[in-house]
Structure 1
Amino acid sequence: MKHKVSVDVSMSIVILFVALFFGCKKEKRGDTVTLSNKIEKKETLFELVHPDSSGIKFKNHVEENLKNYVVHFNYVYNGGGVAIGDINNDGLSDIYFSSNEESNKLYLNKGNFKFEDITESAGVGGGEGWHTGINMIDINHDGFLDIYICRGGFEDTDTERKNLLYINDGNMKFSEQAEKYGLADKGFSVQAVFFDMDNDNDLDMYLTNRPELFFQTVEELNKGERENNDLYRDKLFLNENNTFREIGLKAGIVNNYGYGLGVSTLDANNDGLTDIYVTNDYEQSDYLYINQGNNKFKESIKKFTNHTSFYSMGIDVVDFNNDGFEDILALDMVSENYVRSKTTMASMNLEKYREIIDRGYHSQYMHNMLHLNEGNGFYSEIGQLAGIAKTDWSWSCLGSDFDNDGYRDIFISNGYRRDVTDKDATKRFFNYINSNAVRQNSDEQNLKNILDLYPTTKLSNYIFSNNADLTFDKKMVDWGLEQKSFSNGAATADLDNDGDLDLVINNLEDIAFVYENKLDEQTNKNYLKIKLNGPKKNPQGIGAKVELMYGDQVQYHDFKVTRGYLSSVEPVVHFGLGEVAIIDQIRVVWPDKKVNTLTNVESNKEIEVRYREAATEEPSKKIEQTLFVETTADIRSNFRHKENTFDDYENQILLPHQMSRLGPFVSVADIDGDGLEDFYVGGAMGQSGAVYIQDNKGKFKALPNQTFVSDRQYEDMGATFFDVDNDGDVDLYVVSGGSENEINSKNYQDRLYVNNGKGKFVRSENLPEITESGSCVVTYDFDSDGDLDLFVGGRQTPGKYPLSANSHWLRNDGGVLVDITESNAPELLGVGMVTSAVWANIDNDSTKELIVVGEWMPITIFKIVEDKLKNITEQFNLGKTSGWWNKVIAKDYDKDGDQDLIFGNLGENYKFTASDEKPFYVFANDFDSNGTNDIFLAKKLKNNLVPIRGKECSSQQIPSLSKKFKTYEGFAKADLPTILGDKIMDATRYEAHIFSSIILENTGQGFKMHKLPVEAQFSTVNGIVCDDFDDDGIQDILLGGNKFEVEIETTRADASPGFVFMGSSPKSFQAVKPAQSGFFIPYNVKDIQQVKIANGKKGILVTTNDNILRLFKTTL
């Protein structure tokens, strides 16, 4: 989709594909929707109203010709919008559609879903030009809604591009007055949003524009002509006595040349000032402009999010989980259909991705994003967990409560007239332009022939019901939205005033959809509609914050009308209430902080809340104390982990994640014997680890040690303190790991350091030679001889994923560590890619058991039988618990006297999923006999095994596949045995059945599995601490993690800000947001350990890859 303009048709099409970096995923064209008057009736939530009945026969038609084709004008198929509002104040909402190149249409609501086209008499056709986004807004605050129209066609004149403002004369006549109000911007406009940026009770405006030529970077545009750049950049207009003055550059809207498709307002940092979010197409990052006050803004997307969508489309900002904070839904364009995803799949280009990051752009990935507001200015992106990540080439999104159950559901429109990124069609295209026909035919004929090469398939729009647990279910069939189309803008309104939300959709090349919500005829769910009567210059009350409270429930909405894509919704606040008949309290906070408070409000009606009745409310001065406070400054000369550069993908292109970036880890003990706990933190390859000693003020200072410096060539993994020589002080065992060195390199040799009693360590050779890449180490005196023995986990065989290293059992013989694995624990050899282990007495006998977890491993339990380790996993029915486990700890969390187990796993917010019914697989072998290890991740599709990765990157790993499969469709329709051939029979094969983080409750008769709360599933869990942090006698759980080191076609796991789960009963936990807990670690966390602070507080040490070590302390 990215390209530059060329006059020649053939060369323009070439540029379209040569210029592509990540082939945008686009949808296909099909036949016009036919609506029979004899529609088969079935009870669904929505019923499509026939145009002969409604009178709405609007169709957004775009003629394909030498000016309007996708290369010459890249946004030719982006469609139009919908604006809904009551233009004549008769109590019925009317509908306005934007048509790209024909007349816009205004339909007057006559009641009972009957509409009249009054466009011509009203004078609102929009004239010439390319019409895009539309708003209904009362600009002159006379009590009648006006219409603002954006225009931005390719090669249009300034006159054709000037935005339009139709002022409502009050008698269903409109007059165009954009120049008078200062809003006739002549840029390439997409959409406008009206909001009160300075809380002065009038409406200002932000306008998204775009560059004329596609594939221009911000850097290129900054070098261009100022006059032209003013046409491309976004604008900010300040309302000065009803005249708008553009102040964007002075306000901080600078270097802003994104291809903006969506815009919304929000209060991202909860400071009472309205901020702006702009979704940008192509590689330009989304913009999040944080309002600094005094009409100044600061772009801060990286501060508030860890990643965004890549080709960002529509946006809506609403509270999806009823926690009183609004969340951000932003769309992209990836298909959930397996074959479609492979035939139009984005290509892996690691170097280009790194270039984008190096140029200062944000981490971006191709799927819909649901950014959950954590209440402290950070958003956890959970679109994959929510189940809404893949909805094809998507445009509008609306978070609205369609079934009135009290939770906002999601509607998403989608469709693209021609699938310009079908890779097989691209091949046919190149064959055509290299043929004689292209030189013999006219430009018109070439255009027709080329466009006919591309498949055209319409798809149904998506609608999801909110499950009230941060997940959503598809409801297209049950709710009656199965019609296929190319749909773009959409808006909601209660068109028949029956208390439920109806839906209107603008289609390309089809009559618009008008869906009547039939909920009132099917259920008795309650609702409340609130019409805001705002201050004089903001009569609709835009920007007012509305909060409903009933029982222990809260619903919240920051009122805005510009939502979704190119559209504006009915200016009425709608709440579904389920069975709730009485709302205990309603609070409306206006932009100037005045407040209306209503109590005991009955449901099932529309009420009006008037600004003139609002009162000034004293701001609360109460400062809530958090449970934790960050005290990283107490670590003097703080340690910063410095990851070395290494390309894990050089020989393993299909590697799911880097195996060289797994640390650092931290270990805690009283090193110098003063009664205070100290710690050791490991270094990356080329960086020495460090010992930190605690003083009596609870501060830590690094203790220089030349031995560690001399051993900096090792990559430190797990470590443990134990008294190897029984001299009364703790010595240090450090596991060496990573993947940077060759197999059996001496740099994988573990190390033993003996303590002189004062914290000075000297390396000892009293350990076996084991040159394998390891992970962790845990101690237990299994032979009861008074000293501690060691289990050392083997992590990986470098360059041979997913082959593991051997794990080892080391017996302490008078200070000398002896490897007894082959004789006493042969089942540890090749047990798996171990990541974590713990010794715990899980059966209440006289000895502890060894619990081991890892990547592609089941939860594995070993029991000591006559000084030998025996695998007893099957006795606990844990054979099908294989996952990507990262952490296990033992704790009696329910205080019933036995040891329970808590596990950190990959999480549920990831590209990959796993279950008993549909495991996740990996196959590895040298499939093409060229001496390299080839990796194929796979899943089940209709009982067939199919590869996760596509033809292009698979062929990079195995070049012969490009010859075996001539087309992308052929590859997409082949199963894995067909792709890999007979060698799959000899391949290393593992499978995963669970990616959830869990608790295994020890019942005394075995284990009962419980998933940790949904917040624990947001991301990978690498560190866990269980303790009573609030001194209420009930155990709490603290955890963190994330996984930034993933390959670029997989969205990195970065949604965890760190969570504290407070125990409300011995077996029940409630997540506390970081704003309340004070525990905030949205980084690439690799380890978390507890440390006792000198003043009696509980400390938490947090390590982060390629970042600083952090310290938190309890406040109680």
Structure 2
Amino acid sequence: MSRIFLSLILLTTFISGCKKSGPVLFKKIKSSQSNIHFNNHISEWGEVNVFNFTNYYNGGGVGIGDFDNDGLNDICFTSNQNNPELYINKGKFVFENASASSGLTNEGWTTGISVVDINNDGWPDIYLSMAAHPGLKNSKNKFYINQKTNPVSFKDQAADYGLDYEGFTTQAAFFDYDKDGDLDVYMLNSAPDAINPNTIRHRVDDGTFPSSDKLFENTGLNEKGIAQFKDVSREKGVTYEGLGLGVSLADFNNDGYTDIYASNDFLSDDILYLNDQGKGFINVIKSATGHTSLFGMGIDGADLNNDQRVDILQLDMLPEDNLRQKKMIAKDDYQKKSLSTSPAYNYHKQYMRNMLQVNVGLEDGKPMFSEQGLSLGVACTDWSWSVLLADFDLDGLKDVHISNGYRKNVTDLDFINYYNNQNQFGTNEVQEKFKKEFVKQIPEVKLQNYAFKGEADQPFADVSEDWGLDDLSYSSGAAYADFDNDGDLDIVVNNIDEEAFLYENTSENKNYLSIDLTGKDNNIQAIGAKVYLWQKGNVQLLEKYPVRGFLSTVGEELIFGLGQTSQVDSLIVVWPDLSIQKINSPKVNSVLKIDYQPNAEMASLGMENASHQGVFSVQTEFVPLQYEETNYIDFYERPTLQKMQTRKGPVIKTGDFNKDGREDLIVGGSYKMTPTVIYIQNNNGSFDSLTSVNSLNMEVGDILVLDHNNDGFDDFILIPGVADVSFGKKEAYQPLYLENLAGSSFMQKSILPEIHVCSTTAMLFDFNGDGNEDILIAGHHKPGQFPMPSPSYYLERKDDAFVEVKADWLDDIQQIGLFADIEVSDLNNDGQNELLLVAEWQQPMLLKKSSGTWKLEKTNIPSGWWRSIATADIDGDGDMDLILGNEGLNSIFKASESKPVSLLSKDFNNDGVNDPVFALYLKDEHVAYHPFGTMTGQIVQFKKRYTSYDSYAKADIEDMFTSGDMNGVQKFTATELKSVVAFNDGQGNFDSRPLPFLAQISPIGNIIAEDYDKDGFNDLLLLGNFFENESMLGPQDASRGQWLKGDGKGNFKVIGMQASGLNIKGEVKHALKLKGNNKILCTTNSSGIVAIQY
């Protein structure tokens, strides 16, 4: 099945400027100088073509090796339909084409190239992977052994080695999986045309699927001295199906053994094979990652943040600009994704964008990743293939190179529709003729390649143009190597229907150290070795796995950038057999040749202890809780919502329900699914369920605990939350008072007026100063009418009941809605508490009493999607500062004063239902967020207004609506999505500053300020995530709880998962601190009540 048909099935349900003048980091070497004229030409039509071979335009790879053993890196390019081409480095970026005498041939369809010295004779060999297809004659992989001749020549001996495997191979990666000293091989396979790769079906994970990857074990030398390989895939656990396009080898859990990440295309899950210390492999992809790319392509692993853990960058195909996004993605596919991840099929969560998986530490010996591609600025690079992670500018931080482009844009939805309309009838001959002509009309996708500069604790900076790497092309495989032996990494790129790119790195005034490793006899390349570099207390890590990116092999040298520092304290080499070699004060700006001579113990590494006990400890099932959300899907009724509004619970509060002086718990229920439950605290601090209260007629949005009748037994009021499923049912929005009958049971009693509210936050507070607590219920949105505000209510205590009271300040609150949190604090130290209110799309507000009158004021803090608020003295000046939780930066949505996110609200259809439309800036274009199919699902007249995806994609948000449409529209804007700390000047003015960048990785729904490490300064505990987003964004799951250590001067340092001890999976809904002990309890969407001890 062709990619055209697959794109139609998938995407209809889912989804040259002026060049920089002046010096750039990379100088493009002209082919007239280099003599490299390689062009991966692919014929437009033939027996094998884009209609019947899905991977037709995926491209070829680049292999780097010193094939003539003269000390200079040479290049071998793979061509899909033609012979590989070999270029021998003659120095000064001049190469000699040695292809004719090389013996390298291609009778089939070559994909990846792996350069390895398999016989350990010091001369690199070449393993070529071959695609399989009925129209291809020869699909056996080839192993070209270097014959050590002049000119360079090779002989195919794949059969002699037992590696003439025939089976859809994309790439082979050699490594020593079992620590027996010789090299084994992992074969990444892809057979997308064997079965529709986008059909939700039961996976085949027993190793019988046509494109299951393979593990071949090196069983030793035969009588001729040739290594023999045996397929051990099934017995070693390599059995999961996939459509592999990229493979990354690394020691992801720091146990010394090589693990494998297979990046898989289409619906097939990625695979993360954790090496069970040589005994086999265990797939831990679901426990290690929250989600992955959908169309997984190239991949690379490296320690990006210098924390001695290997991170992963996986590529996909989400465009950066609005035009290509809207012409590629048909509509939101929440329903399909829900089906695929359901227990019936159990696929992993996958979304169409690049994913940067930050390695945050270990859990039971398994790596844990936090996906932060959106916040780190590398999520959207269009149809991307190769990714290379290396320190190109030698500043000590790793950078990113990404290749881009596709020869024919088979994802253009207008062309897919045209094709389907034109090719439905006629004989096979007529249809074939149409296809042949149609191919010529398919638009091309010539795209720029990308370069990103690594920044410490900041997003990557797009330096594609600044570095001279932004050429438009149909690029595929790429590799780096030091071609001129000057200590920096140059780049070579394989292009389709265009000459390859060769770039010279012109880095100046930066120090470096280049490492040349020679290992033991059966692995003289030392593949799998690690090198740690210590420099003024900082550590860099490089691993030697030459197969990287996409279809390619990089140079063997390991190059550390040292920036302006000219000294290195020490190097430690962890050889593949786990022996250690330490070198003190190596000479910089040189090639350091290191032969295998272990001289140190493992303790010399000083690695972080995975079992280290942090400040916090987490107990996931501290209190068993069976909470089930209402099975209502907001997106089915309102497709343009960007987040579900009905998944806010469960709420948790404390009270003394049995009059024993200990804090008990009450957990709010969900509409028609889960009752409200009361838990009693025991002498030992544990909790047992006392009783449940039938609250199934409402979604509990908040709970007010009070001893209303002063009998010592706490009573409570259930505040109705967001339950759009019950739209029109007034009883679902009537608050309920439950009186405690001496700790034995609870009885509903009518002490509240008949009101109807939808709220997620309420507060008990003595507004009128009579000594009795009154009630403020801050409204969220009207049921079924997001974002129209629900009424808010002020209820005063009168005798034994509460009565509704009107007030001027309440009128101001009534107009707002979408309230998320309320905090009470004395901000100006006048002895009078103020109320702080935060809401989505609003500036934080202050409700304060002046001259006996309450007044609502907006603070000078920008508008945002505020979710939570806490107060504490952060800067040690004696007054209370604000900490405000927001959306964060790990989101498709970004906001600033000049480029806000916005929400238009009106019943555009005139059907009695409000239609929300979200808008944002993509680059400099102000556009609707929603794909065409999603928008027309909400606003039907758009089907007539726009007749093509192209016309919709070219409309900005101002042009999209007529003046009549805009009449009566309510517009909401947010200019700040970062979570912030707002420093109080004592007079009600606030200096708002973002929390550290690493604290912006997820929405923050709960903030608890406390001096957790007992150093005298307030710290912050941030809890959040948000899972129920529409399917273009997917779950925001990057946080496992964060400890921000304060210094008492207003500064915070984010402490990582391993050091803090925080590891909370899922979305934290609500959290509270128990009195009298160092324990925090929180409810999540994935387990019982979680306890955080400190």
1:723–1:788 contact (8 Å) kept in structure 2:
no
Tell me if the contact between 1:779 and 1:839 (Cα under 8 Å) persists in the aligned partners.
no
2:650 maps to which of 664, 684, 687: 664
Q: Deviations over 1:414-456 (max 9, x none)?
A: 1000111212222332343368xx7798666423421122212
SS of match in other structure, 2:763: strand
Preserved CA contact (<8 Å) 2:203 2:241: no
**Which position in structure 2 is the counterpart of 1:1016?**
999
Q: Does the C-alpha gap of structure 1 residues 1102 and 225 become closer, same or farther in structure 2, counting only changes over 3 Å?
A: closer
Kindly indicate whether residue 92 of structure 2 is the aligned counterpart of residue 121 of structure 1: no
Give the residue type in structure 1 aligned to 2:682. Answer: D
Q: CA deviation at 1:1039?
A: 1.2
- Tell me which residue corresponds to 1:561: 546
SS at match of 1:120: coil
The secondary structure found in structure 2 opposite 1:1067 is coil
Residue 209 (structure 1) shift? 1.3
Residue 68 in 1 paired to residue 48 in 2? yes
Contact 2:58 2:476 in 1 (8 A): yes
Which residue in 2 is equivalent to 1:166? 144
> 1:262–1:23: structure 2 CA closer, same or farther, 3 Å change rule?
farther
Whether 1:142 aligns to 2:121 is yes
Alpha carbons 1:893, 1:1026 under 8 Å: kept: no
The equivalent position to 1:155 in structure 2, one of 130, 134, 139, is: 134
Between stretches 393-402 and 83-92, larger displacement belongs to: 83-92
- For the residue of structure 2 that corresponds to 1:601, the secondary structure is coil
1:716-759 deviation per Cα after TM superposition (whole angstroms, max 9, x unaligned) = 12223233344445332321112221146211112223335547
* Alignment partner, residue 502 of structure 1: 490
Specify whether residues 110 and 1009 from structure 1 end up closer, same or farther in structure 2 by C-alpha distance, changes over 3 A only. Answer: same
**In the alignment, residue 605 of structure 1 is paired with which amino acid?**
S
Deviates more, 1:856-865 or 1:400-409: 856-865
- In the alignment, structure 1 residue 909 sits paired with structure 2 residue 887: no
Find the counterpart in structure 1 of residue 437 from structure 2. Answer: 449
- Aligned counterparts of 1:40 and 1:748: Cα–Cα separation in 2: 60
State the Cα deviation string for residues 1010-1043 of structure 1 (Å, max 9, x = none): 2112222101111111111111111111111111
Change (3 A) 1:224 1:251: closer
Cα drift, residue 601 of structure 1: 2.2
Find out whether 1:181 has 2:181 as its counterpart: no
Distance 1:549 1:223, change over 3 A: closer
Partner SS, residue 915 of structure 1 = coil
Q: 1:712 is aligned with what amino acid?
A: L
Whole-angstrom CA distance in 2 between matches of 1:868 and 1:756: 38
Matched, 1:516 2:504: yes
Residues 231-276 of structure 1 deviation map (CA, whole Å, 9 limit, x = unaligned): 532101111113111111111122x331110011122333332211
- 1:468 aligns with 456
| 1:1046 pairs with one of 1016, 1024, 1029 | 1029
Asked if the contact 1:535–1:612 (Cα under 8 Å) also holds between the matched residues in 2, the reply is no
Equivalent in the alignment of 2:1089: 1109
**3-state secondary structure, aligned to 2:148:** coil
Q: Is contact 2:701-2:719 (8 Å) kept?
A: yes
Gaps of 5+ in 1: 6-11, 34-38
Pairs within 5 Å for 1:95-494: 95-123=75-103, 125-155=104-134, 160-171=138-149, 172-211=152-191, 213-216=193-196, 229=208, 231-241=210-220, 242-254=227-239, 256-358=240-342, 359-376=345-362, 377-433=367-423, 445-494=433-482
3-state SS, counterpart of residue 1004 of structure 1: coil
One-letter identity of the residue aligned with 1:702:
S
Q: 2:455, 2:322 → 1: CA distance?
A: 25
> Following TM superposition, by how much is the alpha carbon of 1:762 offset from its aligned partner in structure 2, in angstroms?
3.3
Q: Displacement of 1:346 after TM fit?
A: 4.2
Q: Which amino acid aligns with 2:264?
A: N
Kindly tell me: are residues 534 and 749 of structure 1, through their superposed partners in 2, closer, same or farther at Cα, counting changes over 3 Å? same
Equivalent of residue 889 in structure 1, options 870, 873, 880 = 870
How far apart, in 2, do the equivalents of 1:760 and 1:910 lie? 45
Contact residue 494 and residue 501 of structure 1 kept, 8 A: yes
Alpha-carbon distance, 1:761 to partner: 3.7
Distance in 2 separating the partners of 1:440 and 1:281: 30
* 1:36 alignment counterpart: none
In the TM superposition, residue 170 of structure 1 has moved relative to its aligned partner by 2.4
Is contact 1:374–1:1073 with CA below 8 Å preserved after alignment? yes
Shift of residue 492 of structure 1? 0.3
**Larger mean Cα displacement after TM superposition, 977-986 or 308-317:** 977-986
User: What is the identity, as a one-letter code, of the residue corresponding to 1:167?
Assistant: I
**Counterpart residue number, 2:686:** 699
Residue identity opposite 1:665 in structure 2: V
1:1059 aligns with 2:1037: no
Instruction: Decide which moves more: 674-683 or 357-366.
Output: 674-683
Q: Distance in 1 between matches of 2:638 and 2:588?
A: 61
Go from structure 1 to structure 2 and tell me whether the alpha carbon gap of 1:138 and 1:22 turns closer, same or farther (over 3 Å shift). farther
Alignment-derived partner of residue 82 in structure 1? 62
Amino acid at match of 2:999: A
Residues 11, 329 of structure 2: 8 Å contact kept: no
1:921-971 CA-to-partner distances (Å, cap 9, x unmatched) read 111212122333222111246876421112222112222212221111111
**Residues 457, 998 of structure 2: 8 Å contact kept:** no
**Residue 1071 (structure 1) aligned with residue 1068 (structure 2):** no
Give a deviation string over 1:96-123, Cα, whole Å, max 9, x none.
1101010101111111001111122232
Corresponding residue of 1:654: 640
Partners of 2:428 and 2:293 in 1: CA distance? 43
Q: Match of 1:9?
A: none
Structure 1 pair 469/651, CA: closer, same or farther in 2 (3 Å)? same
Partner Cα separation in structure 2 for residue 627 and residue 586 of structure 1: 31
Q: Deviations over 1:489-542 (max 9, x none)?
A: 00001110111110000000000000011113xxx1111111111122111111
**Mapped partners of 2:750, 2:1085: distance in 1:** 29
Given that residues 37 and 499 in structure 2 are in contact (C-alpha distance below 8 angstroms), is that contact kept between their aligned partners in structure 1?
yes
1:136–1:111 Cα change, 3 Å: same
> Which residue does 1:609 correspond to in 2?
594
Please name the residue that 1:625 is paired with: 613
Aligned partner of 2:116: which letter? I
Secondary structure, aligned partner of 1:799: coil
Paired residues, number: 1073
Structure 2 unaligned residues grouped into runs of 5+: 221-226
Compare 491-500 and 838-847 and name the one that shifted more. Answer: 838-847
Q: Is 1:584 aligned with 2:569?
A: yes
Q: Summarize the Cα distance change of 1:127–1:418 in structure 2 as closer, same or farther, 3 Å threshold.
A: closer
Which residue identity does 1:429 align to in structure 2? Y
Contact 2:376–2:460 (8 Å) recurs in 1: yes
Amino acid at match of 1:316: D
Aligned partners of 1:428 and 1:453 also within 8 Å: no
Q: Matched residues in 2 for 1:929 and 1:798: separation?
A: 17
- TM-score, normalised to structure 1, is 0.92
Distance 1:973 1:841, change over 3 A: same
> Helix, strand or coil: the match of 1:333?
coil
The offset of 1:784, in angstroms, is: 2.9
Distance in 2 of aligned mates of 1:920 and 1:135: 46
Deviation at 1:1080, TM superposition (A): 1.0
Aligned to 1:677: 663
Q: 2:625 aligns with which of 605, 619, 639?
A: 639
Q: CA distance change for structure 1 residues 650 and 122 in 2, over 3 Å: closer, same or farther?
A: closer
- 1:221 Cα deviation (Å)? 9.9
Q: Deviations over 1:319-359 (max 9, x none)?
A: 11111111100000011111121112243233322221121
Q: Is the 8 A contact 2:14 2:332 kept in 1?
A: no
- Measure, in 2, the Cα distance between the counterparts of 1:1111 and 1:463: 43
Q: Is the 8 A contact 1:333 1:394 kept in 2?
A: yes
Q: Distance in 1 between matches of 2:253 and 2:9?
A: 38
Q: Is the 8 A contact 2:1074 2:1081 kept in 1?
A: yes
Distance 1:447 1:476 in 2: 37
Indicate conservation of the 8 Å contact 1:154/1:212, yes or no: no
